[in-house]
Chains A and B, each alone.
Chain A
Amino acid sequence: MTHEAPAPTAAHTTGATHTAAALALGDDALVLSHRLGEWMGHAPVLEEEVALGNIALDLLGQARILLSMAGDEDELAYLREERAFRNVQLVEQPNGDFAHTIVRQLYFSTYQHLLYDRLATGRSPFAGLAAKAVKEVAYHRDHAEQWALRLGDGTEASHERMRRACTALWRFTGELFRPVDGLHVDPAGLEAAWLESVGGILGRAGLTLPEGPRTGAWTAGAGREGLHTESFGRMLAEMQHLHRSHPGATW
């Protein structure tokens, strides 16, 4: 088995456009699921051990279906190098404190909900998956919203942590609306609804949408092209080391 990247197919490869999109969406779900898995045994209340674990499992389920559309799920998850991963940079951001995790969930699940909702009604190869997953994602979005309200409109300290998290992750949100090769939906068309939804929730939580830039060479990120942030390589090292230590083994 080679440790070369099992070629995330370029969009122009014949018949492989949906593969590129499956990798992009599958990597988003895989990486965020992994980050949420890191919370297990560390959550602030027992109910959140259950909730975060539940969301992580839903996302892992989505990732497995999407990666299987693009090839062998385990080869794709465990044998690609960092530069071959196609997830947006938002989902690879370290968990930080609970507010960071919640804001990452709010930003991402709102996007994913809008996207899957749109994909579910189309006739793309993703319609079936999206129709099932949109229900899970609606729950994830609700969970993030409920916590955003509690933390934003809770104590002064929790409000301040939320404000910082919203700002820190803001620069990674522009990338969500860039085109994805092989996807029949242009994410750019989701941006207005996303801003309205996230802005509305933050408003009810006593917070405002951050003002910093979300696009541009040093802000938006280029995870879809395989350019990631520094912590991502370390995350993959942990995720892949056992699988890579036993080439060819089955588990």
Chain B
Amino acid sequence: MATAAAHQTARTHGHAGQQGGAGSDEAYQRVFDATVAADERIEPRDWMPDAYRATLVRQIAQHAHSEIIGMQPEANWITRAPSLRRKAILMAKVQDEAGHGLYLYSAAETLGASRDDLLDKLHTGRQKYSSIFNYPTLTWADVGAIGWLVDGAAITNQVPLCRCSYGPYARAMVRVCKEESFHQRQGYELLLALSRGTPEQHAMAQDAVDRWWWPSLMMFGPPDDESAHSAQSMAWKIKRHSNDELRRRFVDICVPQAESLGLTLPDPDLRWNEEQGHYDFGPIDWTEFKEVLKGNGPCNEQRITQRTQAHDEGAWVREAAAAYAAKHSPRTEVEQA
């Protein structure tokens, strides 16, 4: 669907694209630059620089992988959810994440990548997923903390992507963000119920926030002066704001929310800066961040093992579906007739 819409947009904009026939790469580059400068969308059949295409494939694929791996820490609690209402909400959420993964793989496929190849890169560690999902969900309250903080950070990152220069990605983000903000509110509400519950429930909620706060801040990526791809991505309008800018925005949103939850954030340096109109916060442990990215976080091994196991154990099912399709495709039936 995204592709059909995309073609239409490309034509309406009258881009030079390959279908134009004449013209050099320089001419194409000029049209591309003008499209980006005018805040219009690049669509799948438009010409684009190879590096733009490669950056987008990498980013969208890693985003898709994060949705798929991100199912695991939450699915870990589906069978233990403490009420049927919460169980239904959690199941719906994990199902949505699988759906987000599917949208995003489709968006990546409009750039010429294949889902099978991208999954293979995930399984063999050649592409990454968000470092946050390498942390374990140790109590029920972690499900709430993930909703409030992890989904909250994801939304802060993703809302600007709804205006990303690449059309299919921007449109996928519109759909994803709607569902994510719903999940985020549900996570907040889960924590609120715990915070106002028994002393044990309140302690469970506080402990979860203590464990998820810093990893959530790391979701915005390295500080601006160490972020390798940032400048180019901002020039291409794939990215709209710097890592540090988004991180600060997120902290500003979370502090009053934590207060209304009746929970504290585990940062003694956190205080309002009158002059800047923002909260100042303590230093992030970038050594931990780098270790998790390198594969040495608490669950890296477990997450990839479960993913590859599901894939490997499902091979016979996919083979059966392919064999059945080959036997029953209209073409085969005509040949057999």
Chain A residues within CB distance 8 Å of chain B: 30, 34, 37-38, 40-50, 53-54, 56-57, 60-61, 63-64, 67, 73-74, 77-78, 97-98, 149-151, 153-155, 157-158, 161, 238-239, 241-243, 246, 248-251
Contacts and interface: CB of A to CB of B under 8 A. Distances in A.
A64 B88 contact: yes
Nearest to A76: B84
B319 A238 contact: no
Nearest to A54: B95
B94 interface: yes
Given A41-B75, A42-B306, A53-B94, A74 B84 contact: yes
Contacts of B91: 37, 40, 53, 56-57, 60
Contacts of A248: 198
Contacts, number: 142
A53 B140 contact: no
A153 to B, nearest CB: 6
Interface stretch (B18-26, B166-174, B259-267, B320-328): B320-328
Interface string B76-103: 0011111111111001101100110110
Chain B contact surface mostly: helix
B316 A157 contact: yes
B314 interface: yes
B87 A60 contact: yes
Contact of B98 (A49, A154, A158): A49
Nearest to B70: A41
Interface residues of B, number: 50
Given A239-B79, A251-B140, 4 more contacts: A42-B310, A161-B316, A246-B201, A251-B197
B333 interface: no
B68 interface: yes
B193 interface: yes
Contact of B84 (A48, A63, A150, A161): A63
Nearest to B115: A46
Contact of B101 (A46, A60, A153): A46
A61 B88 contact: yes
A151 B317 contact: yes
A47 B84 contact: no
B99 A50 contact: yes
B13 interface: no
A98 B92 contact: no
B278 interface: no
Interface of B: 68, 71-72, 75, 78-88, 91-92, 94-95, 98-99, 101-102, 105, 140, 190, 193-194, 197-198, 200-201, 306, 309-311, 313-324, 327-328
Contact of B317 (A45, A57, A238): A45
Given A150-B321, A154-B323, A251 B94 contact: no
B159 to A, nearest CB: 24
Contact of A57 (B71, B88, B101, B140): B88
A123 to B, nearest CB: 28
A151 B314 CA distance: 12
A251 B82 contact: yes
Nearest to B322: A154
B84 A60 contact: yes
A33 to B, nearest CB: 8
Contact of A158 (B82, B99, B105, B320): B320
A153 B72 CA distance: 32
Contacts of B310: 41-44
Contacts of B71: 40-41, 49
